[in-house]
Amino acid sequence: MKESFKSSDEPMPVAAGADASQADDNRPVPSPPPLRIPEHTLDPVSQWLDSTHGAISHNTERALKSDLAIWLAWCRREKRKPWPARAATLVRFIDAKAHCRAPATVRRYISSICALHRAAGWKNPLDHVTVRMSLRRMYRHRGRRQAQALGLTWQVREKLIGSLDQAGESGERLIDLRNRALLAVAYDAMLRRSELISLQVSDLTFDRGGSATLFLRNAKTDPEGAGNILFLARDTADMVRAWLEGSGVSRGPLFRAVRKNGVPGRGLDPSQVSRIYKSMAVRAGIDDFAGGLSGHSARVGAAQDMIASGIGLPAILQAGRWKSAAMVSRYGERLLASRGAAAQLARMQGRDEEDKY
């Protein structure tokens, strides 16, 4: 028999723009005003933007509008016509942004501009050789490699979760119960930050054996909401039980802000996930490590642990809901290098043995 939290209630509103400390007293932090797109510059693209609302993820929609606003602002400063974009204009835009933005960000700008051109029925700017050469020039000068979030591997996960006990504290504050459960769930289910904060109590089912399952309603690679059933180990399920029992939360968002008076508040904002990880790392005494953590670090760490344990690539792809092996290979590239042909040869030649003396 399974114990399940089910609720037909609508999700509670998500607190936007709060940092980790201020979220705990449920006071929102003002966010910078969003970049706005002048109305007269949108037609005929505005019709396409309207049609995409609800058909693509919120993050993708926000990125498209932000990229478009940046493009239009640059065109206004340079007194250039934005629509349809001339190849020479795009080349100047790429060269200008390559000095102050990461190559991946500049490439995203161009992808958004090209998507809007295709939607409006205009020629794709990337069809022009000078635009492609401009991107290649940027990559040759700046490189294509992107910074990768540090992985919250099992060893680090255990240190963070046990950090309060190491410090001689009880670890029974409500915010500590939440943080432990949040990190444990993110690791077991290999969740992106947006997936983690979208979880509802009704998505959780405790099994009789002590473990639990989660129903992930929407994911980056599941835009139509077919859903995925994800496994939570017994220790993780115990931490989630402790959080629910301590907070009294029985419906709505699974993970909440905690007010200073110890009362659970509204659902978390995605930006708070990395702040929670970093605050846990600082408390655990690994301040240098904290700076490299992101909202995806638990997902990265779980993938690295799977690779290190010899779990096959198909199983890792299924667990992490990846469509291709490219990102998994990136996460585990150092581990994979230590198992590559050069490493095997060095071991065969006795050049990779520990010093016995």
pLDDT average, residue stretch 187-195: 95
Measured distance CA(270)–CA(290) in Å, rounded: 17
Measured distance CA(3)–CA(297) in Å, rounded: 30
pLDDT of residue 5: 43
| One domain, residues 153 and 224 | yes
Beta bridge partners of 214: 204, 230
Q: Which of 19-33, 80-94, 164-178 is most confident?
A: 80-94
pLDDT of residue 20: 40
pLDDT average, residue stretch 95-99: 95
pLDDT of residue 18: 39
| One domain, residues 12 and 153 | yes
Domain presence at residue 342: no
CATH number at residue 19: 1.10.443.10
In angstroms, the first-to-last Cα distance of the chain is 58
| One domain, residues 10 and 103 | no
| One domain, residues 73 and 208 | no
* Sheet containing 228-232: order of strands: 3-4, 204-206, 212-216, 228-232
Over 90: is that where the pLDDT of 344 sits?
Answer: no
pLDDT average, residue stretch 76-87: 94
E strands within 233-288?
256-258, 264-267
Number of domains in the chain: 2
Confidence of residue 314 (pLDDT cuts 50, 70, 90): very high
pLDDT of residue 335: 80
- Which of 133, 65, 68, 61 has its CA nearest to residue 95? 133
pTM: 0.72
- Which of 250, 195, 200, 197 has its CA nearest to residue 15? 197
Whole domain around residue 311: which residue ranges? 3-28+149-320
| One domain, residues 172 and 278 | yes
Q: Regarding predicted confidence, which is higher, 276 or 325? A: 276
Confidence of residue 53 (pLDDT cuts 50, 70, 90): confident
Over 60: is that where the pLDDT of 133 sits?
Answer: yes
Say whether 3 sits in a helix, a strand or coil.
strand
Residue with tokens 């000078």: 130
| One domain, residues 159 and 60 | no
pLDDT of residue 166: 52
Q: Regarding predicted confidence, which is higher, 193 or 167? A: 193
- Which of 230, 235, 259 has its CA nearest to residue 318? 230
| One domain, residues 154 and 14 | yes
Domain presence at residue 55: yes
Domain presence at residue 337: no
Domain presence at residue 348: no
Q: Which of residues 83, 107, 142 is at a domain's end?
A: 142
Domain presence at residue 219: yes
pLDDT of residue 332: 84
- Sorted by sequence, the CB contacts under 8 Å of residue 192 that are 6+ apart come out as 219, 220, 295, 296, 299
- Sorted by sequence, the CB contacts under 8 Å of residue 268 that are 6+ apart come out as 14, 15, 23, 197, 253, 255, 256, 257
Domain presence at residue 327: no
Q: Contact 250/201 with Cβ under 8 angstroms? A: yes
Over 70: is that where the pLDDT of 242 sits?
Answer: yes
Q: Regarding predicted confidence, which is higher, 225 or 252? A: 252
pLDDT of residue 7: 37
Q: Regarding predicted confidence, which is higher, 193 or 222? A: 193
Question: Measured between alpha carbons, how far is residue 176 from residues 24, 182, 214, 264, 285 in Å?
Answer: 11, 10, 21, 12, 16
**Phi, psi angle pair for 12, to nearest 5°:** -75, 155
| One domain, residues 15 and 154 | yes
Q: Regarding predicted confidence, which is higher, 125 or 4? A: 125
pLDDT average, residue stretch 88-108: 95
pLDDT average, residue stretch 98-115: 94
Domain presence at residue 134: yes
Q: Copy the structure tokens of residue 43.
A: 């037609």
Q: Could you tell me how far CA 182 lies from the centroid of its own chain? A: 14
Measured distance CA(53)–CA(74) in Å, rounded: 25
| One domain, residues 85 and 156 | no
Q: Regarding predicted confidence, which is higher, 288 or 203? A: 203
Measured distance CA(58)–CA(62) in Å, rounded: 6
Q: Which of residues 85, 120, 142 is at a domain's end?
A: 142
Q: Regarding predicted confidence, which is higher, 307 or 22? A: 307
Could you count the other beta carbons within 10 Å of the beta carbon of residue 130? 12
| One domain, residues 215 and 300 | yes
Q: Contact 230/257 with Cβ under 8 angstroms? A: no
Minimum mean pLDDT range among 69-83, 264-278, 340-354: 340-354
Domain presence at residue 34: no
Say whether 219 sits in a helix, a strand or coil.
strand
| One domain, residues 274 and 296 | yes
Q: Are strands 228-232 and 256-258 parallel, antiparallel or unpaired?
A: unpaired
* CA 333, 339, 345, 350 torsion-angle sign: positive
Q: Which of residues 142, 176, 208 is at a domain's end?
A: 142
Over 60: is that where the pLDDT of 27 sits?
Answer: no
Minimum mean pLDDT range among 34-48, 181-195, 328-342: 34-48
| One domain, residues 87 and 217 | no
pLDDT average, residue stretch 121-128: 92
CATH number at residue 136: 1.10.150.130
pLDDT average, residue stretch 57-61: 80
